Amino acid sequence: MTIHAQQRFDSLIEADERIEPDDWMPEEYRQTLVRQIAQHAHSEIIGMQPEGAWISRAPSLHRKAILIAKVQDEAGHGLYLYGAAESLGTTRAELLDRLHTRRQKYSSIFNYPTPTWADVGAIGWLVDGAAIANQVPLCRCSFGPYGRAMVRICKEESFHQRQGFQILLRLTEGTAEQKQMAQEALNRWWWPSVMMFGPPDSESVHNARNMAWGIKRFTNDELRQGFVDMTVPQAELLGLTIPDPELRWNDERGHYDFGEPDWEEFARMVRGEGDLPEQRLRVRREAHENGAWVREAAAAYAARQRQAA
Amino acid sequence: MNTVADPLLAHVLRHGDRALVLSQRLGQWITHAPELEEDMALANISLDLLGQARHLYTYAGELEGQGHDEDHFAYWRTSTEFLNPLLVEQPNGDFAHTMIRQVLHDHAALLYWQSMTTSRDQTLAALAVRARNETEFHLRHCRGWVVRLGDGTDESHRRAQAGLDALWPYAEELITAPADDAALRSDGLIGDDIADAWRADVAATMAEATLTLPVGVTAQSGGWTGHHSEHLEGLLQELQEVASAFPGAKW
Amino acid sequence: MNADWPRWEVFLRARRGLSHTHVGSVHAADGETALQAGRDLFTRRQEGISLWVVPSEQVVASDPDDQDSLFEPADDKSFRFPTSFELPSEVDQM
């Protein structure tokens, strides 16, 4: 039976068909996906915080409306993804508990501070830009619910990137002070964004297996190169300088060459050291704990209504 | 202190301010809600209210005729120039507190917008149709919560009752029309008085929620004419922080 | 008591003339709040005009292991399809 099931799984993967939740799948495939989808979901909801903090201070009502809609989308993306993860048999409550107790991670990009309004722009343009580069191939992920969630998410994300770019565009068209604010935000977010694609292929442990399983479609370095190639002309359009002295066009390769990110910093961020990661998790945990009596009340009311019916 | 001479302009600003201040309060919930679905819901209500405020401010700019856009009214007025009722500036408190505030507001807002759909003012009548539909959903959501909290567990009941007790002094102001509304009403620019309908609706909601309406409470008022509680100042400081640091800047 | 809200499957009718299609799931204590959550989550961009929510635990699904026995027997009945019938060329519309 298991041999038959394994054969069917292999042939579906071989044929680039989708695996659906009720299908037999290798335990490791299941666990890899639960971990990856959950981490992705956690990143969406933790990612609401650095931008959410600017909703109350957005400098125009138009920007405020856009930002509320964007942060709301992120909650929505979290929900799509938790739904996909739950289809593999782990409840959202359990996944949130793993986040709250640091047994699962979220993207370390959200452990960087957002001191100015321009950071909101940089997150949209660069972080969402990098996220889209990462996510578009995931629309073809071999696990059906994940791919379907990603299709929905990618459709919504392109507005996120554009609004970020537009925030910076307005700043670079503005006063010298505004322009400087934009440049400083780019300086802060460039390298973290480049590192969002994960460690270099030479050090990435699961690349090969995840590619074979159709969970990953391009390697970290391929995606990173694509992001740099896409972003450099946009920075030029903004009249901003990417903080990498080694950045230049390579005619031979048909790509931009760029410098080596600080992978030690990356490792520190992934470990979640420092006050900001602690704060992010605290906000999350407090929201969950302070909401317990509310969830209980709704459950109690629903139970009584069912009994009365 | 209200120094707006034109009654219609003052009226439009009052409701624009009401919507903006409440939107700002609800926006503070985002990432702190009891469940992710509720983050979505509160963001949705906040966004709708913000949209209403923007429409009203834009119209206020037209009525005023001094070339002011929506942002002028949000970012470049002081707390004494804001004309929102006191209820909406009250702090969020816990989730029960926020839902009580919202349901008291939404009952009034729904009746208000319904009455405004027949305004002789074409701009306001058109906005009212949209705002009424939005508010109908807000009320459905928040009324549902008040009933579930009031009639949920002992703890949720206690918290909902505490919210109602704390906010009730600010409730009556919602339906107490400022003096200069009278002329607008006789001109057919604003709709019928909503006070009696509001009292009946609120009483029905609280009864279903097994909550007790406080009695013998001294009603607080002054918001409609720019006399605010201390809470508005802080809210506006945050709202205006970035814009006021860059006078004349475009965003 | 267990305060974790149950899961609901959400179905959306995109516009009149189309049937409801599964779009995802939400968690909610009861049907009414599940509808509201489904509305907030799946219709932010005018994606639909009607919603169904169904408790996930109520869905009865076929077993993937039964795929062969349930669905393959249909594959040798090509006569169910009109294209498998050859008609005289004189017959224009049928």
Report the complex ipTM. 0.97
Nearest CA in chain C to B140: C36
Domain coordinates of chain B in residue numbers?
7-245
Q: Provide the 10 A C-beta neighbour count for residue B222.
A: 14
Q: Please name every residue paired with C13 in a beta bridge, in sequence order, or none if there are none.
A: C50
- A260 contact C CB<8A: no
CA distances from A93 to A83, A90, B41, B103, C54 (A): 11, 8, 19, 29, 20
- A2 contact C CB<8A: no
Q: How far apart are CA B2 and CA A2, in angstroms?
A: 78
CATH homologous superfamily of B7-245: Ferritin, core subunit, four-helix bundle (1.20.1260.10)
Cβ pair B41:C29 closer than 8 A: no
- What sign has the CA pseudo-torsion C76, C82, C88, C89? negative
Q: How far apart are CA A303 and CA A308, in angstroms?
A: 9
Give the mean model confidence (pLDDT) for residues B89-114.
98
Q: How far apart are CA B148 and CA A161, in angstroms?
A: 39
Which chains share 3+ C-beta pairs under 8 angstroms with A? B, C
- The partner residue sitting opposite C4, judged by closest CB among A73, A79, A93, is A93
DSSP A275-308: HHHHHHHHHHHHHHHHTHHHHHHHHHHHHHHHHH
CA distances from A152 to A74, A133, B121, B189, C35 (A): 12, 15, 41, 45, 20
- The partner residue sitting opposite B37, judged by closest CB among C28, C32, C44, is C28
Asked if the model's pLDDT at residue A272 lies above 90, the reply is no
Q: How far apart are CA B150 and CA B96, in angstroms?
A: 9
Distance from CA of B155 to the nearest CA of A (A): 7
B186-236 pLDDT, tens digit each: 999 999 999 999 999 999 999 999 999 999 999 999 999 999 999 999 999
Q: Are A37 and A142 in contact (CB under 8 A)?
A: no
Cβ pair C3:A296 closer than 8 A: yes
Q: How far apart are CA A142 and CA A146, in angstroms?
A: 8
Q: pLDDT band for position A135 (50/70/90)?
A: very high
Tell me the one-letter amino acid at A87.
S
Helical segments of chain C, H only: 31-42, 67-71
Cβ pair B35:C5 closer than 8 A: yes
Q: How far apart are CA A60 and CA A19, in angstroms?
A: 46
Contacts with A298 from chain B: Cβ below 8 Å: 148, 152
Token pair belonging to B150: 């009031």
Distance from CA of A22 to the nearest CA of C (A): 6
Q: Are A154 and A135 in contact (CB under 8 A)?
A: yes
Q: Provide the 10 A C-beta neighbour count for residue B238.
A: 12
Q: Angle formed by the axes of helices B36-64 and C31-42, to 10°?
A: 60
Q: Provide the 10 A C-beta neighbour count for residue A189.
A: 24
Tell me the one-letter amino acid at C22.
H
Distance from CA of C7 to the nearest CA of B (A): 12
- A156 contact C CB<8A: yes
In the three-class reduction of DSSP (H, G, I as helix; E, B as strand; rest coil), residue B26 is classed as: helix
Q: What structural domains and CATH numbers belong to chain C?
A: 7-83 (3.10.20.520)
Cβ pair B241:A49 closer than 8 A: no
Pairing verdict, β A248-250 and A255-257: antiparallel
DSSP B136-175: HHHHHHHHHHHHHHHTS-HHHHHHHHHHHHHHGGGTGGGG
User: In the 8-state DSSP scheme, what is residue B33?
Assistant: S
Looking at residue A163, what is its pLDDT? 96
Token pair belonging to A27: 């335990």
Looking at residue C94, what is its pLDDT? 81
Tell me the one-letter amino acid at A117.
W
- The partner residue sitting opposite B40, judged by closest CB among C5, C29, C40, is C40
Our CA angle for B8, B11, B16, nearest 5°, is 125
Our CA angle for A12, A15, A17, nearest 5°, is 55
Residue C24 parent element (H or E):
strand C21-27
- The partner residue sitting opposite A65, judged by closest CB among B51, B153, B250, is B51
Cβ pair C36:B141 closer than 8 A: yes
Contacts with B141 from chain C: Cβ below 8 Å: 36
C35-94 pLDDT, tens digit each: 999 999 999 999 999 999 999 999 999 988 888 888 888 878 888 888 888 888 888 888
CA distances from A46 to A23, A225, A276 (A): 31, 26, 12
Cβ pair A296:C61 closer than 8 A: no
Distance from CA of C48 to the nearest CA of B (A): 16
Q: Which residues of A55-75 are buried (b: 16+ CB within 10 A; e: fewer)?
A: bbbbbbbebbbbbbbbbbbbb
Distance from CA of B40 to the nearest CA of C (A): 6
Question: Which one, of A172, A291, A285, lies nearest residue A234 by Cα?
Answer: A172
Looking at residue C37, what is its pLDDT? 98
Q: pLDDT band for position B2 (50/70/90)?
A: low
Q: Which residues of C31-43 are buried (b: 16+ CB within 10 A; e: fewer)?
A: ebbbbbbbbbbbb
Q: Please name every residue paired with C55 in a beta bridge, in sequence order, or none if there are none.
A: C8
Q: How far apart are CA A161 and CA A134, in angstroms?
A: 13
Q: How far apart are CA B9 and CA A249, in angstroms?
A: 58
Interface mutation vs chain A, best among B24, B29, B30, most A CBs within 10 Å:
B30
- The partner residue sitting opposite B35, judged by closest CB among A59, A72, A295, is A295
Residue C12 parent element (H or E):
strand C7-13
- A79 contact C CB<8A: yes
B102-156 pLDDT, tens digit each: 999 999 999 999 999 999 999 999 999 999 999 999 999 999 999 999 999 999 9
Looking at residue C40, what is its pLDDT? 97
Q: Provide the 10 A C-beta neighbour count for residue C94.
A: 6
- A14 contact B CB<8A: no
Q: Are B189 and B110 in contact (CB under 8 A)?
A: no
Token pair belonging to B214: 């406080």
pLDDT averaged over chain B? 96
Q: Provide the 10 A C-beta neighbour count for residue A184.
A: 17
Question: Which one, of A45, A67, A69, lies nearest residue A56 by Cα?
Answer: A67
Which chain A residues in 123-162 lie under 8 Å from chain B, judged by CB atoms? none
Nearest CA in chain A to B244: A59
3-state helix, strand, coil in chain B (%, to 5): 70, 0, 30
Dihedral (Cα; A25, A29, A33, A34), 10-degree rounding:
80
Cβ pair C40:B140 closer than 8 A: no
Cβ pair B41:C37 closer than 8 A: yes
Give the mean model confidence (pLDDT) for residues B229-250.
96
- A65 contact C CB<8A: no
Contacts with A78 from chain B: Cβ below 8 Å: 36
Looking at residue A1, what is its pLDDT? 52
Q: Sort residue B248 into left (φ over 0), alpha (ψ -120 to 50) or beta.
A: left
Asked if the model's pLDDT at residue B3 lies above 80, the reply is no
- A97 contact C CB<8A: no
Q: Are A135 and A95 in contact (CB under 8 A)?
A: no
Asked if the model's pLDDT at residue B18 lies above 90, the reply is yes
Dihedral (Cα; B118, B124, B129, B132), 10-degree rounding:
-100
Asked if the model's pLDDT at residue C1 lies above 90, the reply is no
Looking at residue C68, what is its pLDDT? 83
Looking at residue A150, what is its pLDDT? 96
Q: Are C58 and C39 in contact (CB under 8 A)?
A: no
Distance from CA of C60 to the nearest CA of B (A): 26
In the three-class reduction of DSSP (H, G, I as helix; E, B as strand; rest coil), residue B194 is classed as: coil
Interface mutation vs chain B, best among C1, C2, C40, most B CBs within 10 Å:
C40
Looking at residue C2, what is its pLDDT? 61
Q: How far apart are CA B99 and CA B209, in angstroms?
A: 12
Question: Which one, of B45, B1, A92, B48, lies nearest residue C6 by Cα?
Answer: A92
- A295 contact C CB<8A: yes
- A173 contact B CB<8A: yes
